[in-house]
Amino acid sequence: MKKFLKEWGIYIALVIVVIFLRFFVFPFVNVDGHSMDPTLENKDRIVTYRFAELQRFDIVVATLEKKKIIKRLIGMPGDKVHYDNDQLYINDKKYGEPYLDEYKKLWKKDKLQKTFSYDSDFQYYAYTIDAFTVNSMKETKFTINVPKGKYLLLGDNRPVSKDGRVLGSFSASQIDGKAKFIFWPPRRFGMLKNGK
C-alpha cells in the first residue's frame, strides 16, 4: 500500500483537486435558449466562477426553480433602474449598454424579423414593441426599484428574454456565479467581458 501511495498518491490528489475545482469553484453551464443572444448563443458551454465579487453589468448564472439561467446584472441592491426609450438610467445617472448595440441596430432595421426567422412568436413580439427594452406592459418608459439585498437581472436579447422585468429581483443566494468564458463550440472560444 505504501508503494502504491508513493507512486500514485500525487496523481490521485491531483485528480481530486481538479474534480473539486470543476464542480465547486469553476462549474460548467450550458446556455439554453436565446435570451442572451448575441453575447451568448443557444448551446454555448461556459465556465463560471462561483466566488467572484458581483459588479454591475456582469454576466451571471442564477437558479430559478432548479433551472440555471444566464442574465446580465443591471441593478444592484437598492438601485432605482429606469428606462426611457432604450436609454438606461441607474439612480438618475445615464449609462450606455454597448452589449445591446448589435441587436438594437437590427431591431431598428427590421424589428429583428430576419434575425428571429427561427421563431414566429419572437418575430411577432419584436414587431409589436416600440423600443428594444420595454417592460411587461410593453411600456418604453418604466422604473424598477431593486429591493435591498436583491439584484435585477436582464437578458441581452431584450425582446424575448424572460427576466427581472417579469420575474422580479433575485437574491444573492440565487446567484451561482459569474460567467467567465465560452469553451464550446471552438469557434466561440474566448473570455466574456464583465463589469463596468
Positions marked catalytic: 35, 71
Residue 78 per-residue DSSP state: T
Candidates 174, 171, 195; CA nearest to 56 is 195
Q: C-alpha cell of 186? A: 471552438
Rg of the chain on CA atoms, in Å = 20
113 to each of 16, 110, 119, 128, 161, how far by Cα in Å? Answer: 49, 6, 9, 11, 16
Amino acid letter at 155? G
Rounded Cα gap, residues 109 and 163, in angstroms = 25
Residues near 75 by beta carbon (within 8 Å), at least 6 away in sequence: 56, 81, 90, 144, 146, 151, 152, 164, 169
Angle at 195 between CA 29 and CA 85, to 5 degrees: 100
